[in-house]
Structure 1
Amino acid sequence: GRGKMVVTFMMGTRRLYDFVHDNPAICMMPVSYVNDPFVISQNDNVVSINSALQIDLMGQVCAEAIGLKQYSAVGGQMDFVRGASASKGGRSIIAFGATTKGGTISKIVPFLAEGAAVTTSRNDVDYIVTEYGIAHLKGKCLRERARELIKIAAPAFREELSGEFEKRFGEVLLV
């Protein structure tokens, strides 16, 4: 209903459970409703924010595995990305730290790890955000996508990613 917080599950502290208990502002609904892109899109200005484990230079997002090792599940990422995209004024954001393992591994990579699943296709990606900036990928060609992603990669990895850019596009990218 209008003016309510619609949720499909919650997990948290005693404070959260006390807040939810008998709260008329909370509307618990099944995942088949909450994650339905058609239902999501009926709200104006939806902003979906999801995370990722890796993103390649084409803009493909993996949010569920590290190579062949399953780490998480798909969840509602695609549902909310597509629902936000169809929402009037909506947008979707994939936000994550640019590195892992204490800054030694880039999460922006030339290619997803072998065996990794594509959770969100490059055609569905709108914004990618790291601590180094924002890349707006929607509607951009592969060259522009790669350029945008390299700009928001951790500085220690930009030269390596630029080398891949040069191999693919025959253009030197100054970082």
Structure 2
Amino acid sequence: DFTNHIDIVRRNSKMTSINSAIEIDLTGQIVSDSIGRNFFSGFGGQVDFMAASPHGFDGLGKAIIALPSRTTKGHTKIVPFLTQGSGVVTTRAHARYIVTEHGIANLWGKSIRQRAYELIQISHPDDREKLEKAAFDRFKVMPSP
């Protein structure tokens, strides 16, 4: 209750939180504890830190989600739609910076189409064409910066 309390987190200068994710959809919804009906962990303080870090007293904090672009079995972690039954831990409203081994996506203040573009750019190169097609099918326009 104390360490994860939003008011306590906001008292820190340059507060930067780094959390992970199991899956992220093209709009920036973040799943961190489950896939479908299978739970892998709790969400810990992710909700609190993602909300509070950018709003520290000095305004210099960052909320970051870091993850590999693919699972160990080679499945993409950036997906057109979340797996049915998965729980969103971090909403698209709180998603700011997403980092993979292929780069950084800054989602803050972006439209849904721009978010899709940013996330496709940091996905595994072998997954990008499929994600672009899925984005076009979903949004009826090509993602653009």
TM range (shorter): over 0.9
- The one-character-per-residue Cα deviations of 1:124-149 (angstroms, maximum 9, x if unpaired) are 01100000000000111100000000
More off after superposition, 82-91 vs 135-144: 82-91
Work out the CA distance in 2 between the residues paired with 1:173 and 1:129.
Answer: 19
Which AA in structure 2 matches 1:160? K
Q: Which of the numbers 64, 70, 74 marks the counterpart of 1:93?
A: 64
- Is residue 6 of structure 2 the alignment partner of residue 33 of structure 1? no
Work out the CA distance in 1 between the residues paired with 2:95 and 2:23.
Answer: 13
Unaligned runs of 5+ in 1: 1-31
Work out the CA distance in 1 between the residues paired with 2:90 and 2:143.
Answer: 26
Matches for 1:123-162 after TM superposition, within 5 Å: 123-162=93-132
Work out the CA distance in 2 between the residues paired with 1:168 and 1:55.
Answer: 15
How far the C-alpha of 1:160 sits from its partner, in A, is 0.7
C-alpha contact (below 8 Å) 2:116/2:143 kept by paired residues: no
- Is residue 139 of structure 2 the alignment partner of residue 169 of structure 1? yes
Q: % of aligned pairs identical? A: 42
Cα RMSD over matched residues? 1.3
State TM-score, norm by structure 1.
0.78
- The one-character-per-residue Cα deviations of 1:96-141 (angstroms, maximum 9, x if unpaired) are 0000134x20000001111000000000011000000000001111
C-alpha contact (below 8 Å) 2:113/2:142 kept by paired residues: no
- The one-character-per-residue Cα deviations of 1:28-72 (angstroms, maximum 9, x if unpaired) are xxxx11001111001121000000000000000000001110111
Structure with max Cα Rg: 1
Work out the CA distance in 1 between the residues paired with 2:126 and 2:75.
Answer: 10
**Residue matched to 1:82:** 51
How far the C-alpha of 1:168 sits from its partner, in A, is 2.4
C-alpha contact (below 8 Å) 2:26/2:116 kept by paired residues: yes
| Residues 124, 173 of structure 1: alpha-carbon distance in 2 compared, 3 angstrom cutoff | closer
Runs (4+) off by over 3 Å: none
C-alpha contact (below 8 Å) 2:114/2:143 kept by paired residues: no
Higher relative contact order (CA 8 A, sep 6+): 2
How far the C-alpha of 1:173 sits from its partner, in A, is 5.5
Q: Which of the numbers 29, 35, 49 marks the counterpart of 1:66?
A: 35
Work out the CA distance in 1 between the residues paired with 2:99 and 2:110.
Answer: 16
Work out the CA distance in 1 between the residues paired with 2:17 and 2:36.
Answer: 25
**Residue matched to 1:111:** 81
Which AA in structure 2 matches 1:73? G
Which AA in structure 2 matches 1:77? Q
